Structure 1
Amino acid sequence: MSSQPESAAAVSAAVEARSALRLTRSISVTWWYVSSSVVFFELAIVVFAVATVVEAGFGGAVIALVCVSALLWWLATLLPLLEYRRRTADAPLVIWRHHLVPFLTAAVFGLVAGLVTGQWVAGVLPLIQALILLNWPPGVRLRMVLAATALLVALAVIDFRLLPGESNSASGLQLVVFAILLPAVTVSSLWWWDVLVALDRARASEAKLAATQERLRLATDVHDLQGHHLQVIALQLELAERLMPRDPDAGMEQLRAARASVDDARQGTRDLATRFRSVPLSDELANAVDLLRAAGTKVEAAVAPDASLAPASALGPVIRETTTNVLRHGGGKWARLSLTRIDGSWRYEISNDVAINPPENADGAGLDGIARRAAEADGNLEVHREDRTFTVVVTVPDEAPTEALADAPAQDIAERKVAG
Structure 2
Amino acid sequence: MPRCPALFIGASASHQGKTTVTAALARHHARQGRRVRVFKTGPDFLDPMILERACGSPVYSLHLSMVGLDACRAMLAKAAREADLILIEGVMGLFDGTPSSADLAAAFNVPVLAVIGAHGMAQTFGAVAFGLARYRTDVPFYGVLANRVASARHAQMLAEAIPDGLRYCGHLSNADDIALPERHLGLTQAQEIASLDARLDRAADAIATTSLGELPPRVEFEDATLDAPPRLLDGMRIAIARDTAFSFIYPANIDLLIAMGASVTTFSPLADEPPPADTDALYLPGGYPELHVATLASNACTRASIKEHVARERVVVAECGGMLYLLDTLTDIEGNRHAMLGVLPGNATMQRRLARLAMQRLDTAHGMLTGHTFHYSTLDTPMQPQLTATHATTGAAGEALYRQSRITATYMHAYWPSNPAAAAALFRGESL
Bin of the TM-score, shorter chain as denominator length: under 0.3
TM-score (norm: length of structure 1): 0.19
Greater RCO structure (CA 8 Å; 6+ sep): 2
If you compute each CA radius of gyration, which structure gives the higher value, 1 or 2? 1
Structure showing the higher helix proportion among its residues: 1
